[in-house]
A and B are shown apart, each in its own frame.
Chain A
Amino acid sequence: MEKYDFHGFGENQSMRNYVASNIGELMKTDPNIIVLGADLNTSLGIYNLEGEFGRYNEYPHGRVINCGISEQAMMGMAGGLAQEGYEPWVGTFVLFALRGMEPFYQAVALPDNNVKLWLSHYGLGIGQDGPTAQSIMDKGIWRSIPNVRSVITPADAIEAVSASTHMHENDGIYVLRLSRNSTPLIFDGDYNFSESQAMQLFDRDAGSKGKITIISDGEMTHQVLRAVVPELKEVDWTLTEKGYGVRVVHMPSLHVDEKMVLEAYDDSDLLVTVEDHHINGGLGSEVAEVMAENGCSKKLHRIGLTSFGESGPPAHLYKKYGLDAEGITRKIEELY
């Protein structure tokens, strides 16, 4: 497990904007990259790429294909383009990508076509648009499809950009899940995303109450850090101040290297996973599977959703569903 010392939050940045800009940079160096969108081009930042690289329907040299509101057709077309040697990047919302799941399964995954999905708006974090637009189950789907190399839920714009470059540099199918919200930077510009790698962001053994390892991804890593790191002064009493020894491990990609889980488990008295996703199928399930298969006997608790979400500002939803720093702290105290 790599160690990356967390030294405070940086400025708020939009993952979506940065990833779109990075794809634009990659397009300049690799003419095989084609971008497909289904009428969420303004949300994903594809709109700017249209201007720079042209629309296919206007002339065949255009490198952005506007499929219209047609996710099923878009997935199949991405498979066909990959078969002709192109590297299609499919950009839409997570939930709508699932409309194209069966064509994805058959026309992308089964023939192992080199398609990259770049999806935004997952979980409660999308906020006001409410449960009809909140994807809380997709990690469980992606990670059970053969040939999907990795499902990545980055914590900030720097990690998201680095992950997108990794997706380009490596052949195969990747799913990148981006938050709707601008999130504070955690990593510095020299950070390099590494597939299946877990990052230890914080580890302090000050406590007398035993050792807890908290594993999280995406926006939840921010909430965990708020609950744990006293220097942030985001909550009145952090877990650290309450006498717990705490390690924070950010696991952005599924499948995670099982050695990482075992390493995190090794000296802990309790493992907790936190994700903006249903507790079944995602990060918590993957950690549980690794623990069970390796005969780990200590307790794991999965924090996440067990019901559908609802509509409201993201911070309010995280509070109501126990996914903010206070909620995470409260849950861990109950458990321990």
Chain B
Amino acid sequence: MISSLDADTRKEISKRRRIKLWDVLYGTGGSGHWGGSSSWIELSTELWTTKDRGFLIFDPDKPEWEERDRFIASEGHVYPTQCVALNDIGLIDDDKLDTLRRVDFNSALGSSDYLQGHPSRNLNYGIEATSGSLGVGLSVATGIAAGLKKKGMRNRIVVLLGDGEIQEGIVSETLRNIGYQGLNNMILVLNNNGLQNDTYTKFRSFDPPPITTQLEEYGFHVVGKPERYEDRIAHDGHDPYYIHDSLHEAADSEKPALVVLNTLKGYGIDFTANSRDWHGRGPDESNYRSGLEQLNK
């Protein structure tokens, strides 16, 4: 159970971050991916709770510290939540956060010195891997995990995967490798929000995604179970107790682990929640204020 910071405090942190995310995406001119980004805010609060606390261990003053835990948003389009979380704990300053999706004319050509539309590796901002094409971040994370294990290091690699993303072939290839190479330093988190770019996942593939049995056969420890939106009693992926306990159960396991979080895309605002219209966009002038009012409640 949560001991270091109580659930109410975490809810406050998540609320603050969700408002910030709404603002940041509004500032990009309504681009970005509000739906998926919003669906893992509570996870971000567990991963990076405050500068000194949270599931991930790192040294804010030494971004290249080799023993840091690694986090990779393999569903790279939702990484603005990571930027907002790192801003919230003081690692990315406000000016830098405002560079998201905007050209910096002073940077070199091909630069990743500011925050790109999808993650571009830059350890100063805690971005471990260039990702965005679905499944690529997972494969890079797997190489990182293999390298760290080779060095005999004990840090953890946490990877955020989308429930749409796992339809990609590279995900199948990589999951099998994680099992076969025995990379028990990896914790995968499935953000099961039931929606993908076009529509609901059930109109494109299986819903819930059939992944847990296969991963158990690959030697994973699986925490939780993907549920269809219609069958849920609650969205466990937004419950700070559940997230905390699940991640720690995964960390205690001797195997590679999968944590399933059943989440809601566009969580926090009624007209964005579970809506297929809110995958690839942010707020604009017509909805910014009404959304903000709901987030502030």
Partners in one complex: yes
Known: A68-B180, A73-B177, A106-B132. A83 touches B142 (CB 8 A): no
CB pair A84–B177 under 8 Å, yes or no, is no
CB pair A86–B138 under 8 Å, yes or no, is no
Q: Taking chain B's interface residues, is the majority helix, strand, or loop, or is none over half, making it mixed?
A: helix
Q: Mark B133-147, 1 if CB is under 8 A from A, else 0.
A: 101111111111111
Checking A57, A60, A65, A110 against B130 with a beta-carbon cut-off of 8 angstroms, the contacting residue is A110
Stretch at the interface among A74-82, A121-129, A153-161: A74-82
A155 vs chain B, min Cβ distance (A) = 33
Checking A81, A110, A146 against B144 with a beta-carbon cut-off of 8 angstroms, the contacting residue is A81
Known: A56-B150, A85-B147, A107-B131. A76 touches B139 (CB 8 A): yes
Interface positions of A from 23 to 70, Cβ below 8 Å from B: 34, 56-57, 60-61, 65, 67-68, 70
CB pair B177–A86 under 8 Å, yes or no, is no
Considering only CB atoms, which chain B residue lies closest to A67 in the complex? B177
CB pair B151–A84 under 8 Å, yes or no, is yes
Considering only CB atoms, which chain A residue lies closest to B176 in the complex? A68
Q: Is B56 an interface residue (CB 8 A)?
A: no
Which chain A positions have C-beta within 8 A of B173? 67-68, 70, 72-73
Considering only CB atoms, which chain B residue lies closest to A107 in the complex? B140
CB pair A107–B147 under 8 Å, yes or no, is no
Candidate in B140, B146, B170 with the most chain A CB atoms within 10 angstroms:
B140
Q: Is A103 an interface residue (CB 8 A)?
A: yes
Which chain A positions have C-beta within 8 A of B139? 72-73, 75-77, 79-80, 103, 107
Q: Is A111 an interface residue (CB 8 A)?
A: yes
CB pair B130–A102 under 8 Å, yes or no, is no
Which chain A positions have C-beta within 8 A of B138? 76
A7 vs chain B, min Cβ distance (A) = 45
CB pair A73–B170 under 8 Å, yes or no, is yes
Q: Is B99 an interface residue (CB 8 A)?
A: no
Q: Is B14 an interface residue (CB 8 A)?
A: no
Known: A72-B173, A86-B147, A111-B121. A80 touches B133 (CB 8 A): no
State in angstroms the CA–CA spacing of A65 and B135 once bound together. Answer: 20
CB pair B151–A103 under 8 Å, yes or no, is no
Q: Mark A155-184, 1 if CB is under 8 A from B, else 0.
A: 000000000000000000000000000000
Q: Is B20 an interface residue (CB 8 A)?
A: no
Known: A56-B146, A72-B139, A78-B143. A83 touches B170 (CB 8 A): no
Known: A70-B177, A76-B138. A57 touches B182 (CB 8 A): yes
Which chain B positions have C-beta within 8 A of A79? 129, 139-140, 143
Please name 6 pairs of A and B residues whose Cβ atoms are closer than 8 Å in the assembled complex, sorted by A: A61-B150, A73-B176, A76-B140, A76-B143, A80-B145, A84-B147
- 8 closest A-B pairs by CB: A80-B143, A76-B139, A84-B147, A70-B173, A77-B143, A73-B173, A72-B170, A80-B144
